[in-house]
Amino acid sequence: MTGLILAIDQGTTSSRAIVFDGALKVVGAGQKEFKQFYPASGWVEHDPEEIWESVIATCRAAIDASGREAREIAAIGITNQRETVVIWEKATGKPIHKAIVWQDRRTAPLCARLKRQGLEKVFTKKTGLLLDPYFSATKIAWLLDNVKGARKRAEKGELLAGTIDSFLIWRLTGGKVHATDATNASRTLVYNIATNAWDPELLEILRIPAALLPEVKDCAADFGTTDAGLFGAPIRILGVAGDQQAATIGQACFEPGMMKSTYGTGCFALLNIGTDLVRSKNRLLTTIAYRLNGKTTYALEGSIFVAGAAVQWLRDGLKVIGHAQHSGELAAKADPTQDVYLVPAFVGLGAPHWDAEARGAIFGLTRNTGPAEFARATLDSVAFQTRDLLDAMKKDWRDGKAKTVLRVDGGMVASDWTMQRLADILDAPVDRPTILETTAMGAAWLAGSKAGVWPKARQFAKAWALDRRFEPVMEDAERRRKLKGWRDAVRRTLTNH
């Protein structure tokens, strides 16, 4: 048995597969994009068959690129876009409808109705989540109500439902295993994160038959074995986690107080809060960070809808930069005497405001404001939004007295200027790792540690390597002044203030 691990990273716009060796180095990779479907305003769908084909193709490509054979791979780890759901036939594995993607808003009327009935507190208490179309269960309810014959077939036990990890596990094992892990289950809106079980009351409210749903396992567990015909030899599936939790694991955030923030199109920040279930009073989500050996570790999570997307707006909308990586260079040239604030509420504001109707605004413009000031305001907005999340997390956990280590990943972290600004606004160190494939690495570690060929958590954490630490250098008075200006700008933008 070698230390080779195959990580499947099934994302929102593409599927990737990476082979890691025993030294935790990438030795082979494959990637394939797939089509996005927008059948109506606010609706987003994927073709599950196309996702399946892309996963198989990228796995084969990664194994080929590694120069090794499937029989040499000790295990597979899976990480996936969270909250996206599929319902398929138990007998054939064929989906009854396209997958409804996490970004989809079609269940907003159902969520609004449940809120009017006073049920949000019930859901939040049990699941740590808010009543929002973002989460999976209302999507399952929609499919049962809107696909002809689906509800009857579900009640007869002819159908199965799950997030993308469950669909892939079912297909990879030839229909032998219907399972998910605790992190994906915790994003469905019907999983009780205190009892670690599907909640009968919530299932009844949404009229979802329990028989539809997968068995919930630890993140590192036996999820079955792939059909030998897929890759040339059977491979055990031993690790599963939703993408943001997998990144938290890949960043080795195993201790309470450690926080990771992923800067992609949006930003997802998770703070490890240990084994105590802390319920947020500041409009954050309480979620399962991971469950290992039957022991649940929780996290507070905050979602920023627009991070890298604001840089894309600079490039594609305003055309003030030619490439995203030029944003930091341009921002560095901005006039330090101008205080320009961009509130990038292009699709509303996420945590901790949760104002879906807010729209973007810019404040502080003068005749001297130009492209450099726009670039700085755009990158500042990411730092300010992260500070809002961190402040909310601190209020929720340990009365704000805990020191936080922030580990970062995602496309934006390559910019030194942006990371220095982040450290300055947070007034906290920001650590950028040498390996930025943290999501795939997290899935690989779950599988590798379960297979016994990769180090356990403590040794894996020691292997985490720092590329650079950014320490705050901004004067306190300047930071306070900038934060005051930002909060005033947000207040003016909110529709629910």
Distance CA 33, CA 35 (A): 7
Q: What is the DSSP-derived secondary structure letter of residue 333?
A: T
pLDDT at 359: 85
Residue 424 burial (CB count, 10 A): 21
Share of the chain above pLDDT 70, in %: 98
User: Is a pLDDT exceeding 80 seen at residue 476?
Assistant: yes
Rounded Cα gap, residues 410 and 222, in angstroms? 30
| SS3 at position 496 | coil
CA nearest neighbour of 50 among 85, 15, 8: 15
**Residues near 479 by Cβ (< 8 Å), separated by ≥ 6?**
424, 425, 427, 472
- Contact criterion met (CB below 8 Å) for 324 and 418: no
Domain-terminating residue out of 201, 223, 243: 243
Task: Give the residue among 270, 300, 262, 304 at the shortest CA–CA distance from 282.
Answer: 300
In this structure, are 76 and 8 located in the same domain?
A: yes
Range of the domain at 112: 4-243
Say if residue 357 is in the same domain as residue 375: yes
pLDDT given for residue 36 in this prediction = 81
Q: CA-CA distances (angstroms) from residue 210 to 110, 140, 186, 448?
A: 20, 12, 15, 32
Q: Looking at the predicted structure, is the pLDDT value of residue 328 above 90? A: no
Least trusted range by pLDDT, from 10-19, 36-45, 165-174, 230-239 = 36-45
How do residues 331-363 score in pLDDT, each as one tens digit? 889 899 999 999 998 877 887 887 777 888 999
Contact 384, 484 (CB under 8 A): no
Rounded-to-integer distance, Cα 151 and Cα 143, Å? 8
Query: How large is the average pLDDT for residues 188-200?
Result: 96
- Cα 52 from Cα 415, distance rounded (Å): 34
Q: Are residues 166 and 262 in the same domain?
A: no
Predicted local confidence at residue 201, as pLDDT: 96
Give per-residue pLDDT as tens, 73-108.
999 999 999 899 999 999 999 999 999 988 788 888
* Nearest to 262, CA basis, from 360, 467, 133, 408: 408
Q: How far is CA 35 from CA 72, 265, 394, in A?
A: 33, 18, 40
Q: Are residues 345 and 459 in the same domain?
A: yes
Are 66 and 137 members of one domain? yes
More confidently predicted of 436 and 339: 339
Last residue of some domain: 243, 270, 294? 243
CA pair distance 289, 295, nearest whole angstrom: 11
| pLDDT of 13 | 79
* 260 in the same domain as 223: no
Here the CATH number for the domain that contains residue 328 is 3.30.420.40
Q: Mark whether 176 and 310 lie in a shared domain.
A: no
Domain identity same for 222 and 283? no
160 and 271 both lie in a single domain: no
What is the band of 497 on the pLDDT scale with cuts at 50, 70, 90? low
155-192: pLDDT as tens digits: 999 999 999 999 999 999 999 999 999 999 999 999 99
Q: How many domains does the chain have?
A: 2
Q: State which amino acid sits at residue 171.
A: R
Name the DSSP class of 220: B
pLDDT at 400: 55
Alpha-carbon gap, residue 180 to 165, rounded angstroms: 7
Q: Which pLDDT score, from 0 to 100, does residue 403 have?
A: 67
Q: Which residues pair with 37 in a beta bridge?
A: 45
User: Measured between alpha carbons, how far is 412 from 264 in angstroms, rounded to an integer?
Assistant: 7
User: Looking at residue 162, what is its pLDDT?
Assistant: 96
Q: Cα angle vertex 270, ends 3, 382, to 5°? A: 115
Cross-strand bridge partners of residue 33? 14
Mean pLDDT on 477-492: 95
Mean pLDDT over residues 30-36, rounded? Answer: 88
Q: For 411-435, what is the mean pLDDT? A: 91
Would you say 239 and 261 are in contact if contact means Cβ atoms under 8 Å apart?
no
Given a cut of 90, whether residue 143 has pLDDT beyond it is yes
The C-alpha atoms of residue 5 and residue 72 are separated, in whole angstroms, by 9
Q: Are residues 192 and 316 in the same domain?
A: no
pTM confidence score: 0.87
Does 401 score more than 70 pLDDT? no
Mean pLDDT (whole number) for 471-492:
95
Q: What average pLDDT does range 126-136 have in this prediction?
A: 89
Same domain, 334 and 429: yes
Q: Are residues 171 and 278 in the same domain?
A: no
CA-based Rg of the chain, rounded to a whole angstrom? 22
Average pLDDT score over the chain = 91
For residue range 267-326, list pLDDT tens digits in order. Answer: 889 999 999 888 888 889 999 999 999 999 999 999 887 788 788 888 888 888 888 778
Assign 3-class secondary structure to 45-94.
EECHHHHHHHHHHHHHHHHHHHCCCHHHEEEEEEEECCCCEEEEECCCCC
**DSSP strand E in 264-386: where?**
267-274, 285-292, 295-304, 341-343, 361-363
- Please name the residue that has the structure tokens 């840089």: 311
Range with the lowest mean pLDDT among 115-119, 128-132, 476-480? 128-132
Measure the CA–CA gap between 236 and 222, rounded to whole angstroms: 8
Gap between the Cα atoms of 463 and 474, Å rounded = 31
Q: How far is residue 50 CA from its own chain's centroid?
A: 21
Of the three residues 226, 243, 260, the one that is the final residue of a domain is: 243
**Interatomic CA distance for residues 438 and 383, integer angstroms:** 21
CB–CB of 160/178 below 8 Å?
yes
- C-alpha 329/C-alpha 461 separation (Å) is 33
**Which of the pair, 404 or 445, is modelled with greater confidence?**
445
